[in-house]
Amino acid sequence: MRSIRVVGVGKSYYHCVSRVVDRRIVFHAGEKEVFRSILRKLEDFCDVRVVTYCLMGNHFHLLLEIPEAESIEPLTAGEWLARLPLLYDRATVDSVADELERAGRTGDRRGEKAILDRYERRRGNLSVFLKELKQRVSIFMNRRLGRVGTLWEGRFKSVLVEGGESALLTVAAYIDLNPVRAGLVQRPEDYRWSGYGEAVGGSRRAKRARQGLASIQRESLENPDSPCDWRETLSRYRRLLYTDGVEQKADDSSGEVSRRGISAEESERVLASEAKLTLPEVLRHRVRYFSDGAVLGSSAFVDGAFERLREKGRMGPKRESGARRLRGAEWGDLRVLRDLQVAVISPPG
C-alpha cells in the first residue's frame, strides 16, 4: 500500500528514510564519506537544514527542516553563480554564466528569470531535495560498483514531525541511536556518520552538526536567532540518548558486565509481555511509528494535518478523527496519524 505523504504548513520538519534495493550492504566508510559530502552540499544548495542524520550500510535516516516558502528570498544571478559550484563542474557554471550574460546584454529579463527559475524551484522543497540526493548517490555508487539500474528500494518514506522540542528530540534521538540498535557501536558518539557522532567528533564539520541539534532545543525553536550553546545542548541531548539501567557488556565472550543493569534478555521479555517501556528505553528499539506513522506530534498538530488531508479527499469517509495513540511505550503527549497494529516496536537489530 502506498504510504501517505503529508505536507506541513509553514516551516516543517520531516523524518525521511530510504533503503537500498534488496537491502544489500553497499555503503562502507569511503562511500559514507561521499554520501555525507553530497548531503551537505545539497543542504547548502537547496536551503534545507539537516537537523540530524544517520548513514547506515543499506539505508539512511534524515531529520530535515524545510523553510516556509515565503521566507525564501530569490537569489540574484551573481549569488547563483557563486552557489552553482556546490553541485556543478566549471564547464557547466561557465555555460550558465554565458547564458545570463547574453540575457543581460540583450535586456531579456524574461529569459534571465527563466534561467534562474531552473534553480530557484529546487530551494526549500522536500521532494526535490530527496530526489537529488538519491540520484546523485546512485550515480556515484553505480560507478563505484560497476553496476546499472536502480539503487533504491522505492520512493523515500517521510513522517511529518511537529515543530516542538518533545517530538523533534524524540525523533532525533531515535535516528542517532540507529548504530547502537544495530550493534555497530556501544555508544552513539562512536559512530562517525551520524549527526550526534559528527557533532561530538570535534572535526571541522562539527559546527554544522551542532547547529542542527541546537536548532531543535526549546530556546532555538522559540527564538531562531538565539546563539548556539553547545554545552547546554550536549548535556540535554546526551541525557536523552543515554538511559540508566541498561546493562553493557565489556566482553561478549566472557559475559563480563562493565555497567550493571537490566539485561537485554529481560528487556525483550518485558517487551514481549506488552509492558510499557519508558521513552529512553524504547529509543533503543526499532519503532515503525517513526517511518510509517505519517504525522507525529501533539493531538492538535496531528488533527490539523488530518483535516487538511480530509479537505483534499485523501482520507476515507468513515474516519472522523485524526490523532491516534502510540502503542507499546509511555509516549506522553505524542500522537500519530496512522494507527499501526503490527510490530510497532521490535527488538534492536
Domains defined for the chain, CATH in brackets = 12-69+128-346 (3.30.70.1290), 73-120 (no CATH)
Residue 275's pLDDT is 45
Nearest to 43 by CA among 292, 212, 295, 283: 212
Amino acid at 72: I
62-71, 211-220, 269-278: lowest mean pLDDT where?
Answer: 269-278
Residue 13's pLDDT is 96
Name, in order, each residue with C-beta under 8 angstroms of 118's C-beta and a sequence gap of 6 or more.
Answer: none
Residue with cell 535516516: 61
Question: pLDDT: is 132 or 204 the higher one?
Answer: 132
Average pLDDT over residues 97-123: 93
Give the Cβ contact number of residue 46 at 10 Å: 23
**C-alpha grid cell, residue 125:** 522543497
Residue 94's pLDDT is 96
pLDDT at 84 over 60: yes
182-186, 250-254, 267-271: lowest mean pLDDT where?
Answer: 267-271
Average pLDDT over residues 154-172: 92
- Split at pLDDT 50, 70, 90, the class of 331 is confident
pLDDT at 330 over 80: no
Residue 320's pLDDT is 80
* Cβ atoms of residues 60 and 35 within 8 Å: yes
- Split at pLDDT 50, 70, 90, the class of 333 is confident
CB-side neighbour CA atoms (13 Å) of 123: 20
Residue 274's pLDDT is 43
Nearest to 137 by CA among 34, 220, 53: 34
Q: For a pLDDT cut of 90, what percent of the chain falls above it?
A: 50
pLDDT at 163 over 60: yes
Average pLDDT over residues 303-310: 90
